[in-house]
Each structure stands twice: as structure tokens, then as C-alpha cells.
Structure 1
Amino acid sequence: MRFRDRRHAGQELALRLREWAADRDLVKTLVLALPRGGVPVAAEVAHILKAPLDVLVARKIGVPGHPETGVGAIVGDDPPLFDQRALEMLGLSEKRLNPDVARERTELHRREQVYRGDRSAPDVKDRAVILVDDGLATGATARAALRYLRRRNPARLILAVPVCAPDSAAAMRSEADDVVCLHQPPDFWAVGQWYDDFDQVSDDAVIEILHALSASPPKS
């Protein structure tokens, strides 16, 4: 299974989620996207499920010199969540990564301000929350996001992605109530390999989508 772009992936994921949701009693469903790449995917899900959309900004903590290799992640002002096994294998310590954490925290808050402005974050308590990204590789960012949300007492917590590494999907089942993934290829090595168009999503594109499908209207 391949996807033309994130919008196509979102449409396919939304159709699966609509079938999945028909057998479940979901209360006050909220779709949360992991920006930036998860936003166009989540927009299609929110549209088809007729649910509000917002973002949950998380930032990956990468290996110094190899930022795409994630060893941890941060969400909000929570402490970083590290993959301790990965740190040991790479000979890294949490202290050594403090500058990387600080830099990513600054970027996280910048994006929150850009995307949400003066809108408050949506309340997830007692809601069915569907967390959406464009794919799942190591799962570091998704794990941090799911734990952040779990502490805020949603009625049900669902992770939904178009494509994922099979072992990462299995690991997420202990973090979410449900994991919905369309494609779990055994030869997975990167999310982008399953998209024909995997260009970077801009801040402007995220803002435009959120204005159209916002979980809470802007304050007047």
C-alpha cells in the first residue's frame, strides 16, 4: 500500500476509522494531529468523522549529528521521555542531551504560539481522543504524546496512522486503548518511503487547516 500524499493517506485512514468507530461508543470525539506532517492527515479524519481538529505539538530529541534518529521526545512542559535502551546503545546520557532538549522546547513553544495563537488548548478529559500522525517509525514522539494525553484523563485514547513499523505499532498498544494502522510493512525503514509526495508541510499550511477545522474557535 502506497499513498499519493498525506491527504490521500488521511482519506484512507478516515474510512478505516469510520468503520472502526461504528462498532464503538465514542463520546465527544476530538482529533489531535502531531504537527506538522500529521495535520493534513488528521484534517481528512476530522472531516469524515465530523469531529473538531486541533494539534498536540511534540518534538523529537535526536542523536547529536543525526537528528532524524530519535532517542526521546518532549510534549508541553513535561520532562523529556527518553528511550533508555537507545541511550545506552549509543553511549549517550540525558545530561549530554540537555542543550538539545532546551532547543527543541523553544521550538515547541514557538509552534504552539504560531498554530494556536490565543486559542486555549482543548480539554481532553472524558473525550475520545484520536491522535494522528503521518506515520510511526521509532514511536518516541507518539509515546510521549500518548502519555501526556493519558494523564489528562480522556475517555478513550486512540493512535491512528496510515503506515507504521510493526514493532513500533505493537509497542504502542500498551500506551493507547486502540492502535489503528492501515499498513505495517515488514520492510519498513522510513515513513516517507510509502508516500509518492512527502514534501515538508509548512507552518502556513498548518495554520490554514486549523482555521478551517478548529477544535475551539478563536477568541474575538
Structure 2
Amino acid sequence: MATTYRDRAEAGNALAERLTPLAGRPDVTVLGLVRGGVPVAAAVADRLGTPLDVLVVRKLGVPWAPEVAFGAIGPGGVEVLNEAYAARLDRADVAEVVRRERAEADRRERLYRRDRPPLDLTGRVAVIADDGLATGASARAAVAVARRLGADRVVVAVPVGAPDAYAALADEADEVVCPERPTGFGAVSQYYTDFHEVSDEEVLTALGPAD
């Protein structure tokens, strides 16, 4: 039976226990995947004493079943497609989903970065935190973004994930920390008591004032 976390903050604290070798290192940045990963990342960054930032990645959902991802996009034009799904879709449908999600990604990037400079991970260890790993599409896109932004090492940290998504992601990230990988994985929400939708206001509060 997999662990049920009280909320995302508790899940982040559990992850931080497994990331203690990174505590206090000046070359580490913890990145929360927007939006659900930000409270997790905030708890990790607080425990490790490292900077917190956000990474805006949008899942590309099948038009008639949005919860099923056929890929994901991130800043800098990064696009990751699950060809097993994408090949079955009409090209016009794919283009429309990408257009819509790119517009929302751009909106969130403007909102969350505010007066902050563009994210630069040159020479850094990027710890990408999310609240769970279902298909892994968003996390794969996040790894690609972090490498494009210059990260020397990319660590993905999630409290719970599907075993097959974990295995696929382990081939792309330098390290994947995922303490719970239950067989018969369903939805990420099943492993939380409180899994409310994280608001823009919560993200901005976690980030604190812009420098």
C-alpha cells in the first residue's frame, strides 16, 4: 500500500529527506513544475536551503480525453511528443492543442517571472519537483528545458509515480527520486488527502517578492 500524503508540503518534506546530499550547495536550484509542483518544491527548497524558482511546462491532452497526455511543451520552444499517442491524432487537432497550451504557458511565464530575469541554469544542478508522475510527459519536457537552459545535472523529485513512467524518465534525467512507485498506479490525487488545485496566488506567494 503506497503512502498517502497529507498535502503537497508534507510530500515535499519527505522528498527533502532523500535529497540531503544537496543541502546548502551553492550550485543547486529547486524548480517547481507549475502549478501543482510548486508547493512541493517550496518545501524541498526550504529544507535544503537552496533557491526556489518555477518551470512552466504544459501537458498536451488528447482533445476528447484531456487527462491523457500525448506530449508536453515548455519555454524556449521545447516540445516532447509521445509518438504512440500523437500519431493517432489529426494533425490539425494536435496543432490546435499546442497553440492553446503555448498561449497559456506564455501567460503563466509572464505572470510568475514578473520582474525576475529569464531562468538561467548554466552550470547548476536543477532539481525539478512535481506532486506526482503519471505519464511522465511533463517531467520529460522539464528535463529537456533544464538541459537547454544550461543545467549541468538534472534531478527529478516526485513523491509518487507510475512505475513505467519512472523507468522511462530514468533514461533521460541524471537521477529520479521517487519513493513511492505502486503497482496499479491510478491518479496522483489518490495519494493525497488534500489535493486541491493550486492557484496562481499560491504560486506567487511561494516565490515571494521579486528581487
TM over 0.5: yes
Output the amino acid matched with 2:122: K
The equivalences for 1:1-220 within 5 A come to: 1-18=3-20, 20-21=21-22, 28-88=27-87, 91-211=88-208, 217-218=210-211
Report the Cα offset of residue 198 of structure 1.
0.5
User: What do residues 106-127 of structure 1 show as CA deviations (whole Å, max 9, x unaligned)?
Assistant: 1101111111112112310111
Structure 1, unaligned runs of 5 or more: none
CA RMSD for the aligned pairs?
A: 1.7
Q: Distance in 1 between matches of 2:123 and 2:94?
A: 35
Partner amino acid, structure 2, of 1:59: R
How far 1:11 sits from its partner (Å)?
0.9
Name the SS for the 2:9 alignment partner. Answer: helix
Once residues 39 and 10 of structure 1 are traced to their aligned partners in structure 2, the CA distance between those partners, rounded to angstroms, is 10
Using the size of structure 2 for normalisation, the TM-score is: 0.93
Q: Which range is displaced more, 67-76 or 113-122?
A: 113-122
Q: What whole-Å deviation, never above 9, does each CA across 1:135-179 have from its counterpart, x for those lacking one?
A: 000001111110121123312110000000011111111111100
Q: Distance in 2 between matches of 1:157 and 1:100?
A: 28
The letter for the 2-side match of 1:12 is A
Aligned partner letter, 1:74: I
Of residues 162-171 and 76-85 in structure 1, the stretch that sits farther from structure 2 once superposed is: 76-85
The gaps in structure 2 that reach 5 residues or longer are none
* Structure 2 CA distance for aligned equivalents of residues 94 and 193 of structure 1: 33
SS of equivalent residue, structure 2 residue 177:
strand
Most deviating of 172-181 and 77-86:
77-86
SS at match of 2:126: strand
Q: What is the total number of aligned residue pairs between the two structures?
A: 209
SS in 1 for 2:66: strand
Q: Which runs of 4+ in 1 moved over 4 A?
A: none
Q: Is the 8 A contact 1:80 1:101 kept in 2?
A: no
For residue 162 of structure 1, give the secondary structure of its aligned residue in structure 2.
coil
Residue identity matched to 1:5 = D
Aligned pair in 2 of structure 1 residues 147, 167: CA closer, same or farther (>3 Å)?
same
Whether the 8 Å contact between 1:9 and 1:41 is mirrored in structure 2 is yes
Aligned residue type for 1:118: D
Secondary structure at 1:157 match in 2: strand
Q: Give the AA of the match of 2:191.
A: W
TM-score calculated relative to the size of structure 1: 0.90
